[in-house]
């Protein structure tokens, strides 16, 4: 499953996902990490820890990403116990 978000050029803003299990109940990860790739798969931001609060995971998207108009993939790596899950958010940076 993918999610979609749009930011404006040179915007600095938090990006957050909420995690629920297949029954719609809150799913609290033990850790989470995030990486940003451009539309060609080139790494723009190396994997780094994301903030985990209950069942939400948050990262700050800065001008390293938003300085250039285009589409990006935010790759979330979510750890829970002995399992690792991935989620991709598509981020479109639009001209202001």
* Bridge partner residues of 54 (DSSP): none
CA 45, CA 56: separation in Å to the nearest integer? 21
2 pLDDT higher than 80: no
- Provide the residue range defining the domain that includes 44: 2-94
41 pLDDT higher than 70: yes
CA 24, CA 73: separation in Å to the nearest integer? 25
Specify the pLDDT at position 1. Answer: 60
Number of domains forming the structure of the chain: 1
Query: Phi/psi at 82 (nearest 5 deg)?
Result: -95, 5
Q: What is the CATH number of the domain that holds 67?
A: 2.60.40.1930
In the numeric block, the tokens 């909420």 are attached to: 18
54-90 pLDDT, tens digit per residue, is 999 999 999 999 999 999 999 999 999 899 999 999 9
């Amino acid at each position: 499953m993918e999610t979609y978000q749009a930011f404006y050029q040179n915007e600095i803003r938090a990006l957050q996902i909420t995690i629920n299990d297949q029954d719609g109940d809150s799913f609290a990860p033990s850790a989470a990490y995030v990486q940003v790739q451009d539309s060609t798969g080139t790494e723009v931001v190396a994997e780094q820890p994301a903030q985990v609060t209950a069942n939400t995971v948050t990262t700050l998207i800065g001008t390293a990403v938003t300085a250039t108009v285009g589409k990006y993939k935010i790759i979330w790596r979510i750890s829970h116990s002995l399992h690792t899950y991935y989620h991709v958010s598509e981020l479109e940076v639009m001209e202001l």
